Amino acid sequence: MLKSSKQMFLVVLVSTYLTGTAFAIVFGPSNLPLMGYPDHRCYAPSRPYSNDRYAWDNFRDDANQYIDCINDYVEAGNNDIRRIQDAQRDALNEADAFASSIRR
């Protein structure tokens, strides 16, 4: 059992760092669903088979939409990380306040 908020903060900091590593396997409890963080739902376009200008223009538009979709997914993930860190901070503050109230 953790004895201080400094120890809890260190655990949170280390776990936040570890979960940010690509393809990391993190053991221990989680608030995420069983299957983990959702995958993106972006689809890469197929290259045209011809040299038709219209087909290539469409491909470029589709490619830009794909890249935008991936960027939106990453931005949303970064926002989720910030929300998680805020919730962790709030939980630690709540635990600190509780600990302070029973020490009086």
Encode pLDDT of 65-89 as tens digits: 999 999 999 999 999 999 999 999 9
Q: Give the residue among 64, 89, 86 at the shortest CA–CA distance from 5.
A: 89
Read off the pLDDT of residues 1-47 as tens digits, 9 standing for 90 and up: 445 666 655 565 555 554 544 455 677 888 888 888 999 999 999 99
User: Residue 76 in contact with residue 43, Cβ under 8 Å?
Assistant: no
| pLDDT given at position 21 | 44
pTM: 0.67
Kindly tell me if the per-residue pLDDT of 54 is higher than 50.
yes
User: Residue 81 in contact with residue 104, Cβ under 8 Å?
Assistant: no
CA distance 14 to 9: 9
Alpha carbon 93 to its chain centroid, in Å, reads: 22
Residue labelled with tokens 């600990």: 99
| pLDDT given at position 66 | 98
